[in-house]
Amino acid sequence: MNGKDAIRSAMKLSDMVFRSYMSDLDDAEMMRRPCEGCNHIAWQTGHLIAAEVSILNSIAPGAGAELPAKFAEAHSKETIASDDASAFLSREEYLALWDNVRAATLQTLEAISEEQLNAESPEHFRSFCPTVGDVFLLIGTHPMMHAGQLVPVRRQLGKPVLF
């Protein structure tokens, strides 16, 4: 296994876990918060999508998938408190967008060399992701940072344990 294989594997595992936790939620359940002060699932999913595009563009300018107008703004820190379901997408819309965004990330990963993976990352990432390869791993594992917040919602709703 080489560096790109490891990154792809991390992306695949993270996607599988997060998407599994979303798999049987309806659109109303996507608006549930695990507890007071936490973000609802729709916001978190949009945040993951917008963050992936932003992070990818920081290491490969222009490579990130195009997001719908005002999508990133709708999933910013300023909208964390919003419970207006009409301001968010359906689960299926999020998943379709997730697929497009991830396809652009994987295409970019395929196009770069191992040497480029070892290149220094943008300055604002260097303290925790010193190389471009580390930034790709951040993209790949970011969904796992949020997946644990979906579990309490699943328990509240009586959904089956998946893992």
Sign of the torsion formed by the C-alpha atoms of 30, 151, 145 and 101: negative
DSSP conformational letter for 60: S
pLDDT computed for residue 122 by the predictor? 97
- The CATH classification number of 3-156 equals 1.20.120.450
The pTM is what? Answer: 0.96
Which pLDDT score is estimated for 163? 86
The answer to whether residues 127 and 3 touch, using CB atoms and an 8 Å cutoff, is: no
pLDDT for the residue numbered 127: 97
Per-residue pLDDT tens digits of the chain, which is 163 residues long: 899 999 999 999 999 999 999 999 999 999 999 999 999 999 999 999 999 999 999 999 999 999 999 999 999 999 999 999 999 999 999 999 999 999 999 999 999 999 999 999 999 999 999 999 999 999 999 999 999 999 999 999 999 999 8
Q: In terms of Cα–Cα distance, which of 79, 78, 96 is closest to 88?
A: 79
pLDDT attached to residue 41: 98
